[in-house]
């Protein structure tokens, strides 16, 4: 039995969305590394995975501070990708951009202040990272970055 035409279109759209997620994760991680690693190679920090995580003394403690840091690290192309994403589709970034947010900003390592800022109290790091993603999206929608 042949598939209805909408099934093929939906599959194609999901495949393209998956590629967009991978692209955005790589671009965001790359942009942050570029901002930190600029300068002569001998002045750059160690590039192992652990050194790419913020240390507790450098964690943002408010959603606004995390969003400001994220927005400044995004290329114009990545800002357009995020602007072009519907709010209800932001969940597609959970395992890419969201994971990067949870790891980089210490949501799994004890950044209780940022979690409290995101959720108004204690919540799961996954929920806090989604609030940060939504706030970054909102900020880009206004064009006031």
- pLDDT tens across 11-60, in order? 444 445 544 544 454 445 554 443 333 322 333 233 344 458 999 999 99
3-state SS, one letter per residue, for the chain: CCCCHHHHHHHHHHHHHHHHHHHHHHHHHHHHHHHHHCCCHHHCCCCCHHHHCCCHHHCCCCHHHHHHHHHHHCCHHHHHHHHCCCHHHHHHHCCCHHHHHHHHCCCCCCCHHHHHHHHCCCCCHHHHHHHHHHHHHHHHHHCCC
How confident is the model at residue 28, as a pLDDT? 52
Q: What is the pLDDT of residue 52?
A: 86
pLDDT of 20: 52
Q: What is the pLDDT averaged over residues 98-112?
A: 97
């Amino acid at each position: 039995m042949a598939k209805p035409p909408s099934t093929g279109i939906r599959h194609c759209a999901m495949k393209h969305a998956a590629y967009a997620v991978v692209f955005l994760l790589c671009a965001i991680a790359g942009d942050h590394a570029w901002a930190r690693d600029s300068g002569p190679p001998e002045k750059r920090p160690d590039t192992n995975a652990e050194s790419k995580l913020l240390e507790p003394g450098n964690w943002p403690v408010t959603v606004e501070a995390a969003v400001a840091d994220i927005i400044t690290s995004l290329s114009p192309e990545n800002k357009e990708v995020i602007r072009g994403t519907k709010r209800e589709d932001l969940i597609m970034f959970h395992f890419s951009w969201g994971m990067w947010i949870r790891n980089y900003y210490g949501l799994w390592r004890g950044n209780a202040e940022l979690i409290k800022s995101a959720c108004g109290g204690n919540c799961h790091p996954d929920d806090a990272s989604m609030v940060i993603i939504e706030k970054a999206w909102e900020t880009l929608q206004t064009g006031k970055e």
